[in-house]
Amino acid sequence: MFFIIILYYFVFLIIHNQCKIIISPPKHWVKHAHIPHESRYENFYFYLKQKNNEILNKHLHLISNPRHNLYHNTSWLTLDQIIRIVKPDSISIKRLYYYLWSNGINLKECRHSRDGGILVCPILLTKANKILSANYTDFRHRIKNINITRTLSFILPNYLSNHIVTISPTTVFPDLSLFHNSITSNKSILIRQKRQDDLCSCQSYIKPCYLRNHYDIHQYRAHSSTNITLSIIGLANQYINDNDTNLFLKFIDNNNDNIKPKINILGYNNQSIPGREASLDIQYALAIARGVQVTFWSITNLNDPFSDFLFQLANMKHPPDIISISYGFSETRNDYTLFQKAIDQELQKAAARGITIVAATGDNGVGADSVDDCQSYHINFPASSPWVTAVGGTMNCLERGAFFSSGGFSTYEVQPIYQQNVVLHYLHQYNLTLPHANLFNSMGRAVPDVSLYATRYLNIVNGLIKSTSGTSAAAPIFAAIIALLNDYQVRHGRKRLGFLNPLLYQYASDIFHDITAGYNVGCNTTGFHAGIGWDPVTGLGRPSFIRFQKVLDAINLKQHQFKSLRINKN
């Protein structure tokens, strides 16, 4: 009798309390003539609401604040500790299980992330159409020629609304218009000619030798005993080729290093079709982060790559120390609010585990060129996440903000406390030159955090030498610098840097060279302008490896002095 009453209660909720979401496909996405086969499965990701987010948030801000005792005395959280803090309520899990089971989904085929935050289930599209009252269809991007499967509407029982953040894939379309790399290429025979050039000059092209000198890395090399790990994310059929990497290290890097770096591969890698983005990221990560264990992490799920990446990350007992992401999507092209909230939830947990996540801001300035697309400026996610270090781009030998470098203020993300003072200073100092107030949300998360060179990188793809530009070139360079600094920390018996942003903002003037020239165009405007201190074009400026080392030493010295003072008082 009890089971009957409970069953009746659930049925009543399912029938009478439903919420509905309907959207139109964004620009360039069109329905494909092909209809998904009735026997086709897709992985569906259910993001559950998790417990104690405020507790985790407070703890994370304390252990990442160099001026707090916990920064020195507390390690980053382990996966088991994360599980104990945030694991979803059992009621949420049971309600989701019931919803799936009552609609004929085999729960044995579903997999939970280790902390319970994500449940992924392979579901027939015909069944998904039925249980979500959806109409899953193949869509093709007219420019990029990529296919995905989405629905323009779905219905979810209202009784799940307090237990699930979002389901993916549903109505969120990826924005493929970002990160436009400017590329020219020549035959591979010209590589030998480039070897005679001054590889340490910024004239003509950017090469690893110049970057090592420019960012004060010089000949620093990580020691194998520190086991520092850096993962380069590859999405959208981006792969790497060993021959390309070896050619790059021999002819363009040309550092005469006797130790040949080894690339670890996580996921599928098709060496016969190397991609320019993945090749660029891996080649420069190896050249800059010498001695670091570099992994190419290939995400082959084209339909929902971010969910696949986050699910894998959540299940890693020993995740990488640093992750570099050169991909993203515009915040305002779709209604990404729930999807961003779900991803933020996972990124926050990664930050609490001491993982440094670096993301390129994108290459669309403050927004699209069309006025129709620009009722307001917009920035890109995941760079806009407060748990990510956002990397913008600079250009020219005298270094100024790159006109294409995405920067500004988030529409959805609240401005984190660690950057509020510097952002307020910029808004007050340059009040007279700011864009119109209705174009941006001055209270939103502000990006970029830092900036590095983003133009004229030489790399090799499929045996051809190419020149590549974009913030996606800058992100892996910064990630590589942090990897070397992690090595420095571990060598001195200190914890890995982990979530960086509070440290970067507190010691900005000691770590960075300020860049005060440049602007980022978009929406038929000149966007924001660079200035003294933080700005929405170049962030805090360009980092210096040596200056960063000195800051870490000074922080450690202060802590030792504080401990000694306490001991003497006792």
Give the residue extent of every domain in the chain: 204-554
* Strand 118-124, strand 41-48: pairing: antiparallel
| pLDDT, position 53 | 87
* Mean pLDDT of the region 391-399: 94
CA angle at residue 497 from 473 to 362, to 5 degrees? 25
| pLDDT, position 236 | 79
Segment 333-390, tens digit of pLDDT: 555 678 888 999 999 999 999 999 999 999 989 986 544 467 889 899 999 999 999 9
| pLDDT, position 27 | 75
State yes or no: cis peptide before 416, omega within 30 of 0. no
3-state secondary structure of 81: helix
Tokens of 19: 């919420």
pTM confidence score? 0.91
Lowest mean pLDDT across 61-75, 107-121, 302-316, 423-437: 61-75
Quick check: is 346 catalytic? no
CA 534 to chain centre: 21
> Binding site for Ca(2+): which residues?
514-515, 533, 535
Contact 407, 378 (CB under 8 A): no
CA distances from 138 to 20, 141, 393 (A): 21, 10, 35
In whole angstroms, give the CA distance from residue 409 to residue 434. 13
> Binding site: which residues?
514-515, 533, 535
Supply the mean pLDDT for the chain.
86
Q: Which of 175, 277, 346, 487 is catalytic?
A: 277
Q: What is the DSSP letter of 543?
A: E
In whole angstroms, give the CA distance from residue 59 to residue 223. 31
Percent with pLDDT over 70 in the chain: 86
Question: Does the pLDDT at position 497 exceed 90?
Answer: yes
Question: Does the pLDDT at position 170 exceed 80?
Answer: yes
Tokens of 569: 């008082």
Q: Which of 42, 281, 304, 331 is catalytic?
A: 281
In whole angstroms, give the CA distance from residue 404 to residue 108. 48
Write the burial class of residue 184 (CB in 10 Å: 0-12 exposed, 13-18 middle, 19+ buried): exposed
Segment 172-199, tens digit of pLDDT: 887 655 454 444 444 443 444 444 456 7
CA angle at residue 30 from 168 to 407, to 5 degrees? 65
For 276, how many CA atoms within 13 A lie in the half-sphere containing its CB?
A: 18
In whole angstroms, give the CA distance from residue 526 to residue 153. 37
In whole angstroms, give the CA distance from residue 230 to residue 227. 10
* Mean pLDDT of the region 319-339: 82
* Mean pLDDT of the region 205-221: 93
Cα–Cα nearest to 285, from 326, 237, 236: 326
In whole angstroms, give the CA distance from residue 498 to residue 313. 15
CATH fold for the domain made of 204-554: Rossmann fold (3.40.50)
Cα–Cα nearest to 381, from 450, 332, 315: 332
Q: What is the DSSP letter of 428?
A: H
Quick check: is 281 catalytic? yes
Q: Which of 168, 384, 472, 544 is catalytic?
A: 472
3-state secondary structure of 220: coil
Segment 9-58, tens digit of pLDDT: 333 333 334 455 656 787 778 888 766 777 889 999 999 999 998 899 99
In whole angstroms, give the CA distance from residue 254 to residue 153. 54
Quick check: is 38 catalytic? no
* Mean pLDDT of the region 96-102: 94
Question: Does the pLDDT at position 156 exceed 90?
Answer: no
**How sure is the predictor about 92, in pLDDT bands with cuts at 50, 70 and 90?**
very high
- pLDDT higher for 285 or 146? 285
| pLDDT, position 373 | 61
In whole angstroms, give the CA distance from residue 11 to residue 98. 11
* Mean pLDDT of the region 241-255: 87
Question: Does the pLDDT at position 455 exceed 60?
Answer: yes
* Mean pLDDT of the region 524-547: 96
